[in-house]
Amino acid sequence: MTTTIKRTLKAQPRNNKAIAKYGFNFLDIEGTFLHVPLSKIDLSPLNYRETIDEDEILGLAKSLKPYGVISPVTVRKKANGRFELVVGERRYRAAKIGQLKSIPALVKILTDEQVNEIMLLENLQRKDPHPIHEAQAIAKMQKSGNTIDEICIRLGKSKTFIYTRLKWAELILPIQKMFLGNKISIKDVTAMSLLEGSSQQEFFDKHCTNWEEKNFAFSHVSHAISRYKYDLKNADFDTKDKNLIPDAGSCTRCPFNSATIKSLFPEFAKVAVCSHKVCYQAKTLKNLENGFRKILAEHQPTAILRSGNFSNESQMLIDSIPELNILPEVDYNDVNVIEPPCQPEKEDYEDYQTGELEEEDYNGALITYETDLAEYNLVITSENLLKGLTVKNNVISLVYYNPEKKITVGTAVTAKEVQQAIKDGKATPELLDKEIERIEAREKRAKQIDLDNIQKQVHATFKECLKAEDYKPILTLTDLTAARLLIFQSLDWNIRSYIVEKLFSGIDTFHPSKLLQALSELTESQFAFLIRMVFCGRSTSSSPNLIDGKCLYDIAYASGFDIKTIEAENKKLADKREDSVNGRIAELKRKIEKLKPQD
């Protein structure tokens, strides 16, 4: 029999229609306690709690056997005559498990907004509520339109507390259940909550699928989580580049960058750490792709130099980009790579006791570096070197290499090594001999660099001099030699070999001074032969309509070559052809006349 305890003092008007339909007037029972059949109670769709501790519910169900449910739940009446549970889900579930028929309930008239409010406050004000339920309640408050500041004021909590709970509420459901089951600590769950969702799922699938087992234990959680985080200081890409992947933007304001939330989670912001694995790897891959395409466009490398295995990202791009896929792969250790010299660091030349810079040694090393760098820049312009690309630690580099001849840039010993050995009393005659060789080699290179500098200055200033309006040059023998050099250089390889054998037999034409001397000593006949061979070597000189052909004709005519005989023979053939053509045309004209209509 249903027991009703009146709570209202003022009588309400009776509604016979409601009584006829539902068996009671709802206004009559608002604010009253009823024993409501469990079969007539529905869980509220407004309930934010997604996780329930089943073991706790079972324990509560056992405790109900002696006296049933003592504390009433709160419900509101629905339009279809059923009741919607507002407060007391644990008691309701336990009553169902304990196979009770009804449950004491306080009936209230409530709007949806009031139901939300009551659910949130009831759970937050419970004694020792589970943190995940706090998190779900705070997330519900935010979704209802409350700002972070408003939530802080209403709950009397700090922003760090609120933000931490909001991050917990974003955890994937399996991890929330683990947390509710007390299988992970607050510290660890906070660290997990900073991971992006797909990383959380990957972490759970790899480490936690058996969490419900009785003996489940997970040690070194922080180490496992660290595998899903990346120190942005060591990123291969520019973390400030907002255009690398436009949809992702830069890392500087990303919510998955620990540095952006350092005021809320200072323990996670000692360094800038990315916890969005998918985004970080996508940016790494895009940066690599951009690097590959830049080197391909600017330098056209001829090979890929491999030293060990490339990273998965690098290998995937090499296999995917057609321009890379067709390049041959060369073992880095099978060729002679021309390495640029390393610039000396001041820290390496500081006294280990006083910390003072040993300027003489450092300046000497700096001079050596500048000399070696100048030599390196000279060497890499050699036409004998090839360009290749290589990848080390996801950093793409252009390298110059010689597949055959060993080229060494730099020295076997350094000034720093020798000075340190002298200070330590460990210098040997062999080491000092190497130092002498190094100094002599450096001086030799320095003299070559001096010559290069002089040549560059002469070239620049002489060029400007030629541009002057009042400059009136006088032709010199050296100018004539230069003209002969330009003609010689214009020969193709086959004809040049013939000319060298004919005019410069026994002379090293690769030696600049010797070749210039030989060109200056050519007789007029030899010079004429050189000029005529140039034109004969050009395919364009065989065409009468091109300037090269016209020039060749004039040269041949002026040289006394029997052009008239060639022209006479060709004229006979042309005349014969012309007579034949004229006869054919005349025949066709006669036929035309016959075909015309007669008057």
Shared domain check, 317 and 392? yes
Tell me the two tokens of residue 381.
Answer: 């312009």
Question: In this predicted structure, what is the pLDDT of residue 461?
Answer: 92
pLDDT digits (tens, 9 = 90+) for 557-569: 999 999 999 999 9
Under DSSP, the state recorded for 266 is G
Question: In this predicted structure, what is the pLDDT of residue 561?
Answer: 92
User: Distances from the Cα of 468 to the Cαs of 457, 462, 463, 473, in angstroms?
Assistant: 17, 10, 9, 11
Shared domain check, 381 and 486? no
DSSP 522-587: --HHHHHHHHHHHHHT-GGGG-TTSHHHHHHHHHHHHTT--HHHHHHHHHHHHHHHHHHHHHHHHH
Asked if residue 18 belongs to a domain, the reply is yes
Of residues 238, 230, 226, the one with CA closest to residue 395? 238
Residue matched to tokens 């050009």: 538
Which residues does 183 contact at the CB level (< 8 Å), separation at least 6? 208, 211, 216, 218
Q: Distance between CA 566 and CA 575 in Å, rounded?
A: 14
Q: Based on the number of CB atoms within 10 Å of its own CB, is 250 exposed (0-12), middle (13-18) or buried (19 or more)?
A: middle
Domain count, the chain: 3
Question: In this predicted structure, what is the pLDDT of residue 15?
Answer: 47
Under DSSP, the state recorded for 366 is H
H helix or E strand, kind and range, residue 300 = none
Q: Please give the mean pLDDT across all residues of the chain.
A: 82
Asked if residue 257 belongs to a domain, the reply is no
Q: Does residue 282 carry a pLDDT above 50? A: yes
Question: In this predicted structure, what is the pLDDT of residue 11?
Answer: 41
Provide the 3-class DSSP secondary structure of residue 455: helix
Q: Distance between CA 143 and CA 212 in Å, rounded?
A: 31
Question: In this predicted structure, what is the pLDDT of residue 20?
Answer: 52
Shared domain check, 101 and 9? yes
Question: In this predicted structure, what is the pLDDT of residue 50?
Answer: 60
Asked if residue 460 belongs to a domain, the reply is no
Q: Which residue among 380, 410, 440 closes a domain? A: 410
The Cβ-side half-sphere exposure at 332, using a 13 Å CA radius, reads 15
Q: pLDDT exceeding 70 applies to what percent of the chain?
A: 88
Asked if residue 586 belongs to a domain, the reply is no
Question: In this predicted structure, what is the pLDDT of residue 513?
Answer: 92
Query: Do residues 541 and 535 make contact, with C-beta atoms less than 8 angstroms apart?
Result: yes
Residue matched to tokens 């004694």: 127
Q: Does residue 223 carry a pLDDT above 50? A: yes
In terms of residue numbers, what domain contains 541? 477-561
pLDDT digits (tens, 9 = 90+) for 407-435: 455 555 677 677 778 777 888 888 888 88
pLDDT digits (tens, 9 = 90+) for 58-81: 878 887 777 788 788 899 988 888
Query: Do residues 496 and 488 make contact, with C-beta atoms less than 8 angstroms apart?
Result: yes
Mean pLDDT confidence for 585-590: 91
pLDDT digits (tens, 9 = 90+) for 160-210: 888 888 888 889 998 988 888 888 888 888 888 888 888 889 889 888 888
Asked if residue 53 belongs to a domain, the reply is yes
pLDDT digits (tens, 9 = 90+) for 226-252: 888 888 888 888 889 989 999 888 988
pLDDT digits (tens, 9 = 90+) for 364-400: 788 888 888 888 888 887 667 899 999 888 888 899 9
Angle ∠(287,291,294) on CA atoms, nearest 5: 135
> Is pLDDT larger for residue 206 or for residue 56?
206
Q: Distance between CA 534 and CA 499 in Å, rounded?
A: 10
Asked if residue 537 belongs to a domain, the reply is yes
Q: What is the pTM of this model?
A: 0.47
Residue matched to tokens 């459901």: 173
Shared domain check, 92 and 7? yes
Mean pLDDT confidence for 333-359: 80
pLDDT digits (tens, 9 = 90+) for 492-530: 877 888 899 999 999 988 888 999 999 999 999 999 999
Q: Based on the number of CB atoms within 10 Å of its own CB, is 211 exposed (0-12), middle (13-18) or buried (19 or more)?
A: middle
DSSP 203-226: HHHHHTTTTTSTT-----HHHHHH
Asked if residue 374 belongs to a domain, the reply is yes
Q: Distance between CA 27 and CA 15 in Å, rounded?
A: 9
Q: Distance between CA 248 and CA 286 in Å, rounded?
A: 12
Question: What is the sign, positive or negative, of the torsion defined by CA atoms of 170, 174, 180, 183?
Answer: negative
> Is pLDDT larger for residue 52 or for residue 463?
463
Q: Which residue among 393, 410, 427 closes a domain? A: 410
Shared domain check, 308 and 383? yes
Q: Based on the number of CB atoms within 10 Å of its own CB, is 291 exposed (0-12), middle (13-18) or buried (19 or more)?
A: buried
Q: Does residue 351 carry a pLDDT above 90? A: no
Band of residue 267 on the pLDDT scale cut at 50, 70, 90 = low
Q: What is the CATH number of the domain that holds 21?
A: 3.90.1530.10
Q: Does residue 6 carry a pLDDT above 50? A: no
Radius of gyration of the CA atoms of the chain, in A = 47
Mean pLDDT confidence for 127-140: 79
H helix or E strand, kind and range, residue 415 = helix 415-423
- Beta strand residue intervals within 22-154, DSSP E: 33-37, 41-42, 73-77, 83-87, 102-108
Q: Does residue 486 carry a pLDDT above 90? A: yes
Q: Which residue among 65, 84, 115 closes a domain? A: 115
Number of H helices, E strands in the chain: 24, 12
Asked if residue 147 belongs to a domain, the reply is no
Q: Does residue 146 carry a pLDDT above 50? A: yes
